[in-house]
Structures are given as structure tokens and as C-alpha cells.
A and B are shown apart, each in its own frame.
Chain A
């Protein structure tokens, strides 16, 4: 059942893809502009074979494209991949993620961003990774795509509520050992990746998260107190593997939108950033539904956190349903346009995700619930539970209540109330939102 040894070598060798699949990837790049014109039918067009695709979209350039395709030099294509720091795995490879084969048209080549572009001189099969499989992006991708996984998708212009929910869900899923898959867009997608990156690193990628509960996750507030440096994204190769996978609608090495650049770097270093499209390609509109079908296929379950009617998240959910995957949706505030997509899905029978536990139940991971990993905003050593005024204030908190109302309910005056509030904030039990709203964190609810 394990792949043969030569294939193993091939993975280590980096840019490995068969000639036929490389040709397909080249064709997508060549026809990117034509596909943009016919973007309404993009998903159907992608299901066609090479010849059919050329006939369908190339119009006047058919002969030209055909002859270019015939003259394509796979060696040069591989060299280009290596130069751009992109590794590849094709659908002819036995270890190609099996879930993608459920698609009517699985992407021919999965391009994976490696951290640094390979040295140009290293040639087409540069040893991007060396011996350590944990540092090899392809091996990481394959491991991430094998384990239990959940796609968390939603609106780019999301509410703070949606962002927080996405972060918490992703964090819980990652802590329980699932891979969090999303599209690296702003808003919910970015929050999902971020939440997964905050999770305690799994011992082995994908499965077996339980064992190592070393709380020093790749980021955040868990940074050592002594360090004065910003506890920013972990540097390069030393990064612990993270349980998140980003599928891009453009070249994999290209952070899009630009605001996700830091996130892109962190995921590329610790998780995996993949794309159907080869290096250098800028995003086009037809690529987004195409990308969404990959997300839907890669994940065991798809959860929509917030989305407008007709959004990409809704499309991902529908594609996931067609593939027979589990569907979940997080209810939003009534009356908000962002609640349309999840509410529609709930009406159609999607599972209601009201808490991280609901998501884990859908994934069949309940038993490894939250207690395995540190919650999203945990500090290295969880402080002793608050006492005295801080305790009273915490009990008096209701979401969205202002400080004054909470102080009154706890019987505190302004100075002692504010001091208690700072204490709770310091302990990571309360978040202060814009406008002075107070929210108890997941840590406080436990």
C-alpha cells in the first residue's frame, strides 16, 4: 500500500510531475485569458480534455495553441518551477491526494509553494527538501491532505464576530488533529488559517496531535516572556509543522490578497500553500470557482462561517455537497447580509455548528476535544482563576455589555472595576472590542 521507493525519491526531488500533466498545467496558463471570457462555464470547461478545452475556448488561436502544446519542453517547464521555488505533484502520482480524485476533473498538477525559491543553478530537480520529510513541502502537503480535514470558508468582508468564530473553530479543529483548509482570502479564510497556526503543533503532521502538548505554538501570545522581539511568525525551517492548508486562486508563491503576505509566509513554512496554477500566474475570476472545487474536494467537511448570497463560500459548500462531503454552517445575526449563506445552508440541511464541539462531532473527533491543546488566546502558564472583584466582574459579564453595566452588576466602582478589568484582560479571560464592548473568551467559559 505504501508507494514504491522510486516515487518516494521523486517526492524528495521536488518538481516532479509527468509530461502530460505539465502540459495540462501549461495549457491552463496559456488559455487563462480565454477562460476568463468563458468564466461562467469554467468548471465545465475544466472537465474537458486538452483537445476539447482548446476547441472550446481558444477560438481563433486553436492551431497556434495546438502547435505550441506539441512543441512544449517538459524540461524547461520543470526548470521554471524550480526557479520559482514551486514543487509539484501530478495526478498520475499514486500519492496524489485521493480525495481530489472524487472530482470530475481533478487538477492535473498541484503546485506547492516552498519557502524560498530554489537556487537557479540547482537545476530542474533541485533537492528542495533534503532528507527531513517534515521540511519537505510536498511531504507535508500529502500528509495534511491524508488526515481528517475541514474547510472553513466565508466572507472576505466579514464581521468581527465571524472572524472570531472562524479563528476559534479552526483552532479547535487543529488542536484535535484535523487539517484546516481554506483559501487564504481576507476575513474568514485568513482567520481560519490563523486559528490553525495558533494551535499547538502536532507531533506528526495531520494525525496524532494529542501526544505533544508543548504549548509553544507558532506564534501569538505564547512567546516566551523574556523575549523582547515580537512573537511573530516563526522563522523558516525551524517552524513546527502546522495543520493548515491554503488553496490559492493564483500562483502558489503569490500572496493574494497582499494583506495576507505574512500569513502566506507562515503557512508556506509550516503548512502548505497549493494551487492548480503554475508559478507567476495572477488571479483571474474563473480561477476562484476552480479553486473552490479543490477546497471542497480536499476537505472531509466544509463549514461556512459567513457569506453573502451568491458568494464563493456558498459555491464551495454546494460543490462539497455534490461530492458527498459533510456540510456545516455557523448561524449569524438575523438581518445581516453576511448571514444569508449560512442560513440558506442550514435550511437545506447543513449541520448547525454552534460551538467547536459541534464541528469536532461532525469530523468524528469529539474524543480529542479541546482539552488537548491550548485555547486560542491562552498564555504560557494559565494564571490562577481570578478571585475577589475580578471574579465578580467575570461573572457579571454578558457579551456586548459595556464596562459600566458590568461594574454595576458586580457592585464595583469605576476605579476598582477598571483595575479588575485589566486583571481579567491580562489573564486572557476578557477581550475588549471596539466601542468598549467586553467579551469573555473561550478560556473563561471553560
Chain B
């Protein structure tokens, strides 16, 4: 007899519908699973056999063939266990096949028959909605996450027997606790609660740069000696970015859930990812087999913080080029091309020289040639995408005693106003923030005062700026004007932007 159950496979970060078909024929007892599954799928035979028997059902005699369709899609992981087991029960007449048709099933089985966690519940729920499956059975620990998707009735089931009872209608599913609107957000990788810009003493210039970076979505490079507070500042950038919208939060939660990094519920804090500098290109941009989201995708809608930028492998940094340019990364494996979103804001930190103490109290022992080598390691395509450079220096004792200059709440208010201005101006264009302006958009949207124009040409003429550097300066000046609520970019805006440009500009190199 033949029976089918529906489940979803995760392909990159997208759900794909998978039909689990089970056919039982008379013959020598055998159990085989086909349909391009990995080792975890093949091993599920043993789990299913034990789970069925331990849940009080009968394991059918005969020749059992299970198929995961479409057969061309590679299936990985133990998330198909529950669907296989239920389809098997339906095929052996222990469960109504018709009723099973209204459910999608998702979860791993234990030998005792309990339903276990499996990554990607939110993506599965989105798949259920997209394919019009009205009800979804998930492990209880994933119920809140799955119920974030509207239009799908989530039925938590703690085991195979419970799932069978729900499907046959003998038992009503337990109610799902609704996620609190402003629940404790942080899962792994979130910016963390309890940090605030008000914790920062001194650092007036970096704080200004952080606000500009947040307001325009500009990528930021911080340069400073070890221990001056670069990481501390970078973490706080997440607290002044605008709140995640619900759609953004869902996207973030889905990616983190697929990566198995997320506990439960909706992630409402912007992710903050700080990979170590030994990370591989695949770890950073995504990859592996099956392809998994990399740090760039985990930082989607949040911040990717690269500390010790000059220590990263060249190849890893090169792998970030497409993500930075396009906001997504395409990974090709075999016949398929997978797309991972990578809409992160880059914050990088580096020492000013190999020993880290250049420009501070004459402690630097680096030769000029070392400095140049260090500078060369930093240059390249990545630096082209970084609009802002700020020096982070040790605050003085006096500054440490001073009251905080701002708080995250206040800064975020300013940032959101500036973003709103950008949204209005950029409506109908490809860009949403000043940090995304390309050459044409800069020309169309950045209006300069005559005085500002003159200063900029002066800086360009004397070799302080390259053509690209001029561009970056214009983008940043636009954001500074937005923060101040000016429609026209003034001279002071341009001067401030010039002050925050990176100084290893090619234009400068050619001149010196």
C-alpha cells in the first residue's frame, strides 16, 4: 500500500517541498530509502524502526520502499524522520492517509519515539504557508519559532504517538505560547542586551563616526592601538541602528535557525558577528557541503565585525567582495546555485601598524617599510567599499570621568530621522541608504553648496582624494547633512567627511 506525507527540505536558506512516499509490498522484509539522501537520511531507517516499535505501533513486515521526491534535490539531515515514520504508519494502515495529507511534518526522531529539534523550523513553516499546507507538526521546542509565520496552524507534538493522535483527530494540539512582542530577543550572535552608547566615555570622534555609519549604512574602519576600545565601540553600533522590521527579523531568525544558532522565538536584536581572523573563505561567505550560511549571511541585517582586518587571509577578504557589492552571495555546488542574503554592515578594526602603537607616545618600533607593508595589506577592493575611517585613541583620564555624551536611544532617534530622509529622497531608486549610492545616484541626489563644491575640488586638485575617494566623501557628506536635517550639503559637512576619509587613498599614493 502507498502513502505520502509532506515535509520541507532547506536548500540554502529557502524551503523546498519534499514528498515522502512510502510503499509496502509483500516480499522479503527490507527497508530502503531512495531520493538522494545523505548518511543521516539513510540512517533514519534504524531510528524509525525503533521509534515506531517504542511508540506502541507495529512495524510492518514486507518490502518497504521510501522515496523522497523530488529525487533530484539533495536532502541532508535527520529532519525527515518524522515524515517518514508517519507515512510508514499510514502505508501500513495504522493512520489515516487522507488526514495525513492536511499536515506537513518536521522533526528528528529519537529511538524512544520522541520528536527532536532540527534546525530550520521557521523556514519549514514558511514553506508550509507558501505551498498551502494548513497544519504543521513540529517538535515542541520549535513551536514558538514556527508559529511566527501567519496562516499556518502549528501543532507541537512531543512524540510519534502524540503526532499520530493529533493527525487522527483523537487529540487536540497543545496551544502554542505566543511570542511576546518585545520578548527577550537575544539568541546566539545577537548584539546582546544591556550594552549602550551611554557606557562609552571619551571617544567623541569615534562616536560621531558610529552615528554617521549607522545613519547612512556606511562601512566603517577603525584604526587604533590594542585595547583602546574598538570592539567595544563596534558592538554598540548595533544598538543605534534602526529596529529590525518584522520582515527583517523573520529573515534574520530564519537564517540563524537554519544555522542551528538560534534558541527559540523571534530575534529582534540586530545580529553582531565577529569571526576570528583565521576564518576560511567558506566560513565567511558561506559554503561547505551541503552549503551553509557563512558569517556574512549570519550578519544579514546586522553587523559583521572584522577585528584585526590585516590578519585575515587575502582569500577570505576577497570572498567578501560579492557579498559587499550585491548584498547576497551565490554559491554553486554541483548543478545548483544557492543564494544567501548578505546585507550586512561592515565594521573593521585594525592596528595602525604591525606593533599597534604608531602615533602613540613614541612607543612604536616599526620601520617605515613595515608601515607601508601593513598599509598595503589593508588596501585593495575591500577598502573601496569602506566609506569611513576613524582613529580610536585611548581616552584621557579626564575624559573617563566625564559624563556620557549620548545614549543609544537618543542616537537611534537621530539615526532613524536621517534614514527617513534618505528613504524619501531615494524612493524609486535601487538604493535605500546613502551607503548604497552609486555614481549616478550620487550625481542626482547629492546637492552641494557652492562653498562645499569648492572645498571638494580643492581637496581633489591637491591629490588628497582619488576619484573614488571623492565619491565616498560625497556619500558620507550626504549622510552628515541628513543627520543635521539639511537638504543641501554644506561646506562643514564636506570638511567633516574629508576628515573621516581613509588616508591610504590611491590618489594620495600617486602623489607621494
CB contact under 8 A between A404 and B225, given known A187-B368, A221-B511, A436-B359: no
CB contact under 8 A between A333 and B496, given known A160-B371, A230-B510, A414-B208: no
The reply to whether the CB of B499 lies closer than 8 angstroms to some CB of chain A is yes
Distance in Å: Cβ of B79 to nearest Cβ of chain A: 51
Distance in Å: Cβ of B487 to nearest Cβ of chain A: 18
Q: Once the chains are docked, how many angstroms separate the CA of A415 from the CA of B498?
A: 11
Distance in Å: Cβ of B218 to nearest Cβ of chain A: 15
Q: Is the CB of A403 within 8 A of B391?
A: yes
Q: Is the CB of B369 within 8 A of A187?
A: yes
Which residues of A are found within 8 Å of B43, using beta-carbon distances?
A: none
Partner pick for B464 among A187, A226, A426, CB 8 A cutoff: A426
Q: Once the chains are docked, how many angstroms separate the CA of A97 from the CA of B212?
A: 62
Which residues of B are found within 8 Å of A415, using beta-carbon distances?
A: 208, 480, 492, 496
Q: Is the CB of B395 within 8 A of A221?
A: no
The reply to whether the CB of A223 lies closer than 8 angstroms to some CB of chain B is yes
Chain B 370-394 interface mask (CB, 8 Å, partner A; 1/0): 1100000000000000000001110
| B340-398 at interface with A (beta carbon < 8 Å) | 352-353, 357-362, 364-371, 391-393, 395-396, 398
Q: Once the chains are docked, how many angstroms separate the CA of A425 from the CA of B370?
A: 24
Q: Once the chains are docked, how many angstroms separate the CA of A46 from the CA of B399?
A: 64
Chain A 259-276 interface mask (CB, 8 Å, partner B; 1/0): 000000000000000000
The reply to whether the CB of A47 lies closer than 8 angstroms to some CB of chain B is no
Q: Is the CB of B495 within 8 A of A435?
A: no
| B193-217 at interface with A (beta carbon < 8 Å) | 202-205, 207-208
Chain B residue, CB-CB nearest to A162: B368
Partner pick for A422 among B357, B391, B463, B496, CB 8 A cutoff: B496
Chain B residue, CB-CB nearest to A403: B205
The reply to whether the CB of A74 lies closer than 8 angstroms to some CB of chain B is no
The reply to whether the CB of A434 lies closer than 8 angstroms to some CB of chain B is yes
The reply to whether the CB of A111 lies closer than 8 angstroms to some CB of chain B is no
Interface size class of A (residues with CB under 8 A): 35 or more
Which residues of A are found within 8 Å of B461, using beta-carbon distances?
A: 225-226
Chain B residue, CB-CB nearest to A225: B461
Q: Is the CB of B462 within 8 A of A435?
A: no
Q: Is the CB of A163 within 8 A of B459?
A: no
Chain A residue, CB-CB nearest to B506: A230
Q: Is the CB of B510 within 8 A of A157?
A: no
Chain A residue, CB-CB nearest to B363: A435
Q: Once the chains are docked, how many angstroms separate the CA of A121 from the CA of B352?
A: 53
The reply to whether the CB of A432 lies closer than 8 angstroms to some CB of chain B is yes
Partner pick for B353 among A187, A333, A434, CB 8 A cutoff: A434
Distance in Å: Cβ of A431 to nearest Cβ of chain B: 10
| B215-247 at interface with A (beta carbon < 8 Å) | 223-225
Distance in Å: Cβ of B364 to nearest Cβ of chain A: 7
Q: Once the chains are docked, how many angstroms separate the CA of A156 from the CA of B372?
A: 13
Which residues of B are found within 8 Å of A225, using beta-carbon distances?
A: 457-458, 461-462
Q: Once the chains are docked, how many angstroms separate the CA of A420 from the CA of B205?
A: 13
A226, A417, A425, A436, most chain B CB atoms within 10 A: A436
The reply to whether the CB of B500 lies closer than 8 angstroms to some CB of chain A is yes
Partner pick for A419 among B223, B398, B496, CB 8 A cutoff: B496
The reply to whether the CB of A220 lies closer than 8 angstroms to some CB of chain B is yes
The reply to whether the CB of A416 lies closer than 8 angstroms to some CB of chain B is yes
Which residues of B are found within 8 Å of A333, using beta-carbon distances?
A: 362
Q: Once the chains are docked, how many angstroms separate the CA of A231 from the CA of B395?
A: 39
Distance in Å: Cβ of B283 to nearest Cβ of chain A: 30
The reply to whether the CB of A405 lies closer than 8 angstroms to some CB of chain B is yes
| A186-200 at interface with B (beta carbon < 8 Å) | 186-187
Q: Is the CB of A404 within 8 A of B207?
A: no
Q: Once the chains are docked, how many angstroms separate the CA of A395 from the CA of B220?
A: 30
Q: Is the CB of B205 within 8 A of A404?
A: yes
Q: Once the chains are docked, how many angstroms separate the CA of A155 from the CA of B500?
A: 33
Chain B 430-459 interface mask (CB, 8 Å, partner A; 1/0): 000000000000000000000000010111
Q: A400-B362, A425-B499, A435-B359 are in contact. List 17 more A-B contacts (CB 8 A).
A: A225-B458, A230-B511, A231-B463, A231-B511, A232-B510, A400-B360, A404-B203, A413-B204, A416-B492, A417-B205, A418-B205, A418-B500, A419-B496, A422-B498, A425-B464, A433-B359, A435-B224
In the A-B complex, the 7 residue pairs with the smallest Cβ-Cβ separation, listed nearest first, are A436-B391, A435-B359, A437-B359, A225-B461, A435-B352, A419-B495, A230-B510
